[in-house]
Amino acid sequence: AEMARVLADSNHVPLHRLSLLVHSVSIMHKSLDSMPEDENWKALTRNSTNLRVYIMAFDVKSDDMLRILKPSIPLERIHFDSYVTCVSGAVVDLISRQYDKFLTHFILMNDVIDMSGFPDLSDNRNEDPLVLLAWRCTRLSLLAVHGYTVWAHNLIAIARLRGSDLKVLEVTEESIDFDQGELADQ
């Protein structure tokens, strides 16, 4: 928060890009209480109107991400990489709602070894958070998903929603799943 206040001062040259690394180890040793609040981000973007933020999160719990992601962050790129924890559908949904104007890159990687299969972000809901992300985030040009279940029909929906504007759609073959009814039709 203090860094955001200093950078928001009109005496500084406006920022264009800010890259933030959030790691579970750093969260264990430091409180999230010193993270910038929404008003800090608003002040920073008033002076730096072209600012775009890139967040790389390693093994950050979904509850912690929900505390970090403030509505006024001009988030352009986000990269989740997990070895212990998994990102929740609620976090993906929040990102698609708050950052629909700026988000261009969304990378979701899970290396959790779980014999029961990959986590499914849709949580058996009718709306898949990744499909909603593709629908809401009209500037999305890169979507990469590794180690999470992506249903084949949702993958098709994502590709159709973004069309040729989606330059990279990268999904691990093992992540793609089919409904049993779809398999019978194939």
Instruction: Catalogue all structural domains in the chain, each as residue range(s) with its CATH number.
Output: 14-177 (3.80.10.10)
What pLDDT is attached to residue 185? 54
pLDDT averaged per 10 residues in sequence order, the chain, 186 residues? 86 89 78 85 93 95 91 97 86 96 96 71 80 96 94 93 96 85 54
What pLDDT is attached to residue 140? 98
What pLDDT is attached to residue 183? 52
Closest CA to 47 of 75, 16, 76: 16
Three-state SS letters, the chain: CHHHHHHHCCCCCCCCEEEEEEEHHHHHHCCHHHCCCHHHHHHHHHHCCCCEEEEEEECCCHHHHHHHCCCCCCEEEEEEEECCCCCCHHHHHHHHHHCCCCCCEEEEEECCCCCCCCCECCCCCCCCHHHHHHHHCCCCCEEEEECCEEEHHHHHHHHHHHHHHCCEEEECHHHEECCHHHHHHC
Measure the CA–CA gap between 159 and 1, rounded to whole angstroms.
Answer: 38
What pLDDT is attached to residue 112? 67
What pLDDT is attached to residue 108? 95
What pLDDT is attached to residue 116? 64
What pLDDT is attached to residue 119? 78
- Which residue's entry shows tokens 């920073």? 44
Tell me the pTM.
Answer: 0.89
